[in-house]
Amino acid sequence: MNIHDFLTLGAILVALFGARIWRFVDNMRRKQETKTIILSNLTQLQSDLTRMIEDNKFATTLMFDKASFSEVNGYDFLFTNLLLPNLVEFELSCYPSTIKFFNHYRINMEAIKKRLETEGTGHLSMGSLTSMMKKLEAAITELK
């Protein structure tokens, strides 16, 4: 085989598989970027919740006013804007702990929000908060 035959073979292979290989590489890159963004934000949420728990370590419930609630409520976008739109590329079913965390997180944030609206302050029991922190730690470990 001469050089012309190798170039022809290369052109045929690129024509057949080039787009698929590019999509695969692009999906891997986007998946890694998404994981990095989510991991960074979940670590920040963990830090915020840990600080709040330590500030109230002798309480049986953690009280949230509008400011403290907004501090921990803003992470829902990670699930709705980053994970769900990239469901296929991200292979979300491979991250069950992350899904469980976001489900638990959304339920707790909704409970605090409703209590804020009706009672003026929202609260979570330390048991709920501890459970959410365990799920958060599992999600962070899973995404690393």
Residue 3: both structure tokens together: 């050089």
What span, in angstroms and rounded, lies between the C-alpha atoms of 49 and 72?
A: 7
Highest mean pLDDT among 4-13, 48-57, 98-107, 116-125 belongs to: 98-107
Would strands 122-125 and 61-64 be described as parallel, antiparallel, or unpaired? Answer: antiparallel
Are 91 and 46 in contact by the 8 Å Cβ rule? The answer is: no
Per-residue pLDDT tens for 29-74?
988 888 899 999 999 999 999 998 888 878 889 888 888 888 898 8
The reply to whether the predicted model has a pTM over 0.85 is no
Considering only CA atoms, give the Rg of the chain.
22
Sequence ranges of the domains in the chain: 28-143
